Amino acid sequence: MILELESLTHRYGDELAVDDVSFGLEEGELVALLGPSGCGKTTIVQAIAGHVRPTAGRIRLRDRDVTEEPPEARRVGVVFQESTLYPHMTVGENVAYGLASGDIGAREREKLVTEYLELVALRDQRDAYPAELSGGQQRRVELARALAPQPDVLLLDEPLSALDRTLRERLREEIARIQDETGVTTLFVTHDQEEAMALADRLVVMDEGRLSGNATPRVLYESPPTPFVASFLGRSNALPATVVAREPPTVAVGDRELELQSSVRSPPTGASVTCHVRPADLSISPPEAAGASGTRLSIPGEVVTVADVGRRYDVTVRTETGDELVVELTDDPPTAGERVAVELPRDRIAVFDADENERQRLVAANETRG
Amino acid sequence: MSLARRFPTRGSSRLPELLVPALLGGLVLVYFAIPFVAFLARTGAVDVVGELSTPEARVAIRNSLLTAPVSTAISTVLGVPLAYVLARRSFVGKRLVEALVILPLIVPPVVGGAMLLTAVGRFTPIGAAAAAVGIPLTDSLLGVILAQTFVAAPFVIITARAGFGAVDERLEQASRSLGYGPLSTFWNVSLPLARGAIVAGIVLTFARAIGEFGATMMVAYNPRTMPTRIWVEFIAGGIDAIVPLALALLGITLAVLAAVQRFGRVPTVIDR
């Protein structure tokens, strides 16, 4: 384990910013730390870099406890959202800055500066000042500066968020290439789920200071461990239901019962739960088909709106039970006001305890895929 | 009835946007310029070089050139670190510290001088002890320096603080993560990036120190500096008597300002 956080907790005064967060990074991994703004991501980055001393918990780098060590003793490279290039130094001097703090000779230093400027394709700009560079070039110089001292871990704190969309996507690929070439263990912090899923081997999802999920993008998307992950990674419909039987687990939505796949941990009969299902996993059939069939549950309802979003239609259906479900259809959409039945796939439903404080997933959806 | 009729277009009567503020500002500028020009107009009637060669004038110039740079140096060496702490940390009692920094600015200099006398005067424990070992804190060049520093130091502290405040803390954090301790980070990053503001503060402090009169008069009426000498000559000989020394004082300050702007690359003093 290159980097390991153990029960990291941090308070700003009375405000709990990070609550008992533990995760680790293996050598060479690119992990995205994902969550909405204000979820504690930046505090975690600051704690790993050593700019914030955590209230509780340990931070280990290469199995060495660095919790009490100052930033300069940690070998952690940092790139922030806003440029931190030194305006009074040239591009070459900026990249050399992190090398000059060590005991690297002048000749070796020059060689490394050239090497890392080549890595980010900016060798020609060596004598330019940061102000003369474009936003994308500045980002690349920052990457070169952070990487040149060959840190154990590279922390990228929302490095692309200040850029426009086209540039962001181009630099995202650039970061993937650079990470691949250098093999540096990287923690990429972002609030953008698309960015995280496109780039990372693994996602660590945060919600209000707590760890909400930690797995590969596909596993988190297909069998979200918490309702937060279900709704934050892609879109999700939430449907309140009640447990009516445990063997096999069966929930009631309105007066319709749905028998679920066998579960890891079955909630007690009578418990209120929330079923999460992806809009793309729902389909629409004529209303006469409504009723629980062998593999599916269908709920009758009325189409409220149909939005044409280009590559698909988003159909909103108000069900008999009073819930609104969004269904993604690729073709042949119904019209608003039409009576339809929404088909729920049995193996694509994630069930969570309705109590906010008990956010553990209760019934696994498609456990075999996980 | 349409709104267009209720808001008649003024068309040709449109005025340049900055006309009114420019007019008001112009009045202040005229008010600054007239006394300056009127005073300089007197120079023709006076033998400036001759007057400045008198022993009294030369001693005063020498004393000012000895004391003001020392006061400025003390203010800078002690004030810039304080400015950095104030820009970077919040702590219990910070408001009090900030009020203390501004205190010498709002206290009239002559009162500030009186306060200094009550602290280090000849009959106070500190003043008496210093005098006993041959270092009189009043009526000495050291007394002049004490008075100048008291009055002038806030300028460099306040300006430098604003300069450090304008440096993004993450630039320092990046330096720490690149392997530099807090002191080398201050030296390599914070100080160069706040340099313009610090230099501006030094210029203001120097100008204030070399022109200091009120506190100096209370603490060290003797030995004479240029401002105290100007006062003495004014009492004895009126306006024309002080023209040479006043011009010399102005010349020194302008020379320092020009030199510092040249080597410190300061855009303007009030830019920040």
CATH assignment at residue A49: 3.40.50.300
Query: What pLDDT, on the 0 to 100 scale, is given for residue B104?
Result: 95
Looking at the structure, tell me whether residues A245 and A305 fall in a common domain: yes
Looking at the structure, tell me whether residues A95 and A173 fall in a common domain: yes
**Inter-chain touch B179–A80, beta carbons under 8 Å:** no
Residues of B in contact with A49 (CB under 8 A): 173, 177
Looking at the structure, tell me whether residues A198 and A242 fall in a common domain: no
Helix (H) / strand (E) element for B217: namely helix B214-219
Looking at the structure, tell me whether residues A88 and A118 fall in a common domain: yes
Q: Count of CB contacts below 8 A, A vs B?
A: 56
Q: Does residue A361 register a pLDDT over 60? A: no
Looking at the structure, tell me whether residues A287 and A335 fall in a common domain: yes
Predicted TM-score of the model (pTM): 0.81
**Inter-chain touch A82–B176, beta carbons under 8 Å:** no
Number of domains into which chain A is organized: 2
**Inter-chain touch B179–A51, beta carbons under 8 Å:** no
**Inter-chain touch A78–B174, beta carbons under 8 Å:** yes
Looking at the structure, tell me whether residues A140 and A69 fall in a common domain: yes
**Inter-chain touch A72–B192, beta carbons under 8 Å:** no
Looking at the structure, tell me whether residues A223 and A240 fall in a common domain: no
**Inter-chain touch A102–B179, beta carbons under 8 Å:** yes
**Inter-chain touch B184–A101, beta carbons under 8 Å:** yes
Looking at the structure, tell me whether residues A122 and A261 fall in a common domain: no
Q: Is the ipTM of this complex over 0.85?
A: no
Q: Tell me whether residue A223 is exposed, middle or buried, using C-beta atoms within 10 angstroms of its C-beta: 0 to 12, 13 to 18, 19 or more.
A: buried
**B55-88 and B195-210 helices, crossing angle to 10°:** 140
Looking at the structure, tell me whether residues A242 and A219 fall in a common domain: no
B82 at A interface, C-beta within 8 A: no
Compute the Cα dihedral for A198, A199, A201, A204 and give only its sign. Answer: negative
Whether the CB-CB separation of B83 and B161 falls below 8 Å is answered with yes
Query: What pLDDT, on the 0 to 100 scale, is given for residue A367?
Result: 39
Q: Does residue A153 register a pLDDT over 80? A: yes
B99 at A interface, C-beta within 8 A: no
Query: What pLDDT, on the 0 to 100 scale, is given for residue B10?
Result: 53
A102 at B interface, C-beta within 8 A: yes
A132 at B interface, C-beta within 8 A: no
Query: What pLDDT, on the 0 to 100 scale, is given for residue A18?
Result: 94
A101 at B interface, C-beta within 8 A: yes
The arithmetic mean of pLDDT across residues A251-269, rounded, is 72
A78 at B interface, C-beta within 8 A: yes
Between these two residues, A260 and A194, which has the higher pLDDT value? A194
Rounded CA-CA distance A76/A59 in Å is 12
Nearest CA in chain B to A93: B188
Looking at the structure, tell me whether residues A278 and A219 fall in a common domain: no
B191 at A interface, C-beta within 8 A: no
The arithmetic mean of pLDDT across residues A20-37, rounded, is 94
* Domain end call among A193, A227, A261: A227
Looking at the structure, tell me whether residues A143 and A288 fall in a common domain: no
The arithmetic mean of pLDDT across residues A316-345, rounded, is 87
**Structure tokens that stand for B211 in this block:** 């022109």
Query: What pLDDT, on the 0 to 100 scale, is given for residue A355?
Result: 66
**Inter-chain touch A84–B180, beta carbons under 8 Å:** no
**Inter-chain touch A149–B178, beta carbons under 8 Å:** yes
Number of C-alpha atoms within 13 angstroms, CB side, residue B51?
19
Q: Does residue A80 register a pLDDT over 90? A: yes
The pLDDT confidence band at residue A258, using thresholds 50, 70 and 90, is confident
Among candidates B173, B178, B182 on the partner chain, residue whose Cβ is nearest the Cβ of A101: B178
Q: Does residue A136 register a pLDDT over 80? A: yes
Rounded CA-CA distance B28/B263 in Å is 30
* Domain end call among A227, A248, A275: A227
Compute the Cα dihedral for B248, B252, B253, B257 and give only its sign. Answer: positive
Looking at the structure, tell me whether residues A117 and A191 fall in a common domain: yes
Among candidates B176, B179, B189 on the partner chain, residue whose Cβ is nearest the Cβ of A86: B189
Q: Does residue B243 register a pLDDT over 50? A: yes
Whether the CB-CB separation of B158 and B84 falls below 8 Å is answered with no
Among candidates A82, A98, A101 on the partner chain, residue whose Cβ is nearest the Cβ of B170: A82
* Domain end call among A206, A227, A248: A227
Query: Domain range spanning residue A249?
Result: 235-369
